[in-house]
Amino acid sequence: MQYARYLLIASSRAGSHPANLQGIWNDKTAPPWDSKYTVNINTEMNYWPAEVTNLSECHEPLFQLVEECARSGKNTARQHYNARGWILHHNTDQWRGTAPINHANHGIWVGGSGWLSTHLWEHFLFTRDIDFLRQRGYPIMREAALFYTDFLVEDPETSWLMSTPSNSPETGGLVAGPTMDHQIIRSLFKACIAADSILGGRDGFIDTLKNMVPRIAPNQIGQYGQLQEWLRDRDDPKNTHRHVSHLWGMHPGTDINWEDNPELMQAAKQSLLYRGDDGTGWSLAWKINFWARFLDGNHAYELVKMLFRFVDNGSEGHQKGGSYLNLFDAHPPFQIDGNFGAAAGIVEMLLQSHLTYIDLLPALPDAFENGSLAGVCARGGFELDFGWEDKKLVQVSVLSKVGGICRLKYGQKTIDFETVAGERYIFDGHLVMQEK
């Protein structure tokens, strides 16, 4: 985890470009995938550890990229779709191209702008920086949402609003109504609604979003008990593709969770079981996060071990991921996203804050019998230090950066307490507050 933090510090800081597929460590004049920014998972995964591992400032180059793509993406939205707002397809580069590229079976994917916009919202959730939300975050999010209000069409069979044409990265070809698109768009719309409320609730556009949210095609459970990847129930349980795009709604999204829809969580788990554990490096990293959200730390840890499989530089043709001798992630070939995704997944095993509370040790594996974590961040503007022995919480310290109510959960116990900005609050392993 610390190695990934070093890599992010080294390859993404204010004034630089964001970390791309090989970070700053590309050594080829014709690198794999041109060493660009693939935004149907890889670029976003690079930044999963930014907020939670206390490197919020390393997120800044990505925000700059998003703002620049939003400008060029307005032309693409108008020219390709006769739509307002901005759009980014599955790939961009140093010149911030936003049009479809490569092949229709993966190049015509419309979720890039929506997914990247959620990073601006996540930054606010972790920092509670109102000025950032007002001046930078919400304007970009709003314009991305505006595109989708023009783009979505009504499915003649169900009357649901669906995304088309698009695809489910990077499997299944060109389709109408991939589940991942609907999860991203629904989450973006909800984030815009919440942001507007925080900023005073004066944007009339929000009424459009509120009316459209319940009409977006919902998550569905298919004939095999799986979460459907597409609008129609045509999943193949023998498909072991490295992309598990339709689980976006349970990670990094929060659309699917144990609190609100446990039946969808079970369906998502069934989908992941069908896909299997093996995969390329970044795919293994995403699956660590999935199993952490499923609260199965031992399964997540098995994937952590798989990421430490040695991959020889001369065997880049095979598709089993792992690590090179220097711990660089092996897709193979080298892609840095697996390093970052795995770090985020390890944190996710030890702390989660995507619901209404901060959950301590939610997916602690047996292998992590004793340990500690310091300086990790949670949504709401909180920084935590905590330790455990014999797989049981010993102590937790909560630093409140902006004040407000903190809801802390460990096991079956949940507590709420009011905080003051700059104050630290210490609790024992039973969440009983200790003297300051």
**283-298 tens-digit pLDDT:** 999 999 999 999 999 9
Q: What is the dihedral of CA 164, 165, 168, 173, to 10 degrees?
A: 140
Give me the amino acid identity at 11.
S
Which of 391, 383, 368, 387 has its CA nearest to residue 424?
383
Q: Which region among 8-12, 168-172, 412-416, 424-428 has the lowest average model confidence (pLDDT)?
A: 168-172
Kindly indicate the confidence band of residue 313, based on its pLDDT and cuts at 50, 70 and 90. Answer: confident
Residue spans of the domains in the chain: they are 2-355, 371-428
pTM above threshold 0.85:
yes
**Residue 118 reports pLDDT greater than 60:** yes
CATH class for the region spanning 2-355:
mainly alpha
Cβ neighbours of residue 379 under 8 Å, at least 6 residues apart? Answer: 122, 125, 126, 353, 354, 358
Q: What is the DSSP letter of 251?
A: T
Give me the amino acid identity at 411.
G
User: CB–CB of 138/125 below 8 Å?
Assistant: no
DSSP per-residue codes, 285-306: HHHHHHHHHTT-HHHHHHHHHH
Half-sphere exposure of 120 (CA within 13 A, CB side): 30
Which of 20, 12, 165 has its CA nearest to residue 92?
20
Average pLDDT over residues 164-173: 94
Cβ neighbours of residue 32 under 8 Å, at least 6 residues apart? Answer: 21, 22, 331, 333, 334, 335
The number of residues making up the chain comes to 436
* Measured distance CA(59)–CA(119) in Å, rounded: 9
Q: Which H helix or E strand runs over 144?
A: helix 138-151
Kindly indicate the confidence band of residue 435, based on its pLDDT and cuts at 50, 70 and 90. Answer: confident
SS3 category, 109: coil
DSSP per-residue codes, 27-95: --SS-GGGG-EETTTHHHHHTHHHHHTT-GGGGHHHHHHHHHHHHHHHHHHHHHHS-SS----SEE-TT
Query: pLDDT digit string (tens) for 221-234?
Result: 999 999 999 999 99
Q: Is residue 237 packed enough to be buried (19+ CB in 10 Å), middle (13-18) or exposed (0-12)?
A: middle
The token pair at 100 is 């479809």
Average pLDDT over residues 108-133: 98
User: What percent of the chain is modeled with pLDDT above 90?
Assistant: 96
Q: Is residue 395 packed enough to be buried (19+ CB in 10 Å), middle (13-18) or exposed (0-12)?
A: middle
Query: pLDDT digit string (tens) for 344-353?
Result: 999 999 999 9
* Measured distance CA(10)–CA(8) in Å, rounded: 5
User: CB–CB of 255/179 below 8 Å?
Assistant: no
pLDDT at 316: 57
Beta-bridge partner residues of 398: 384, 425
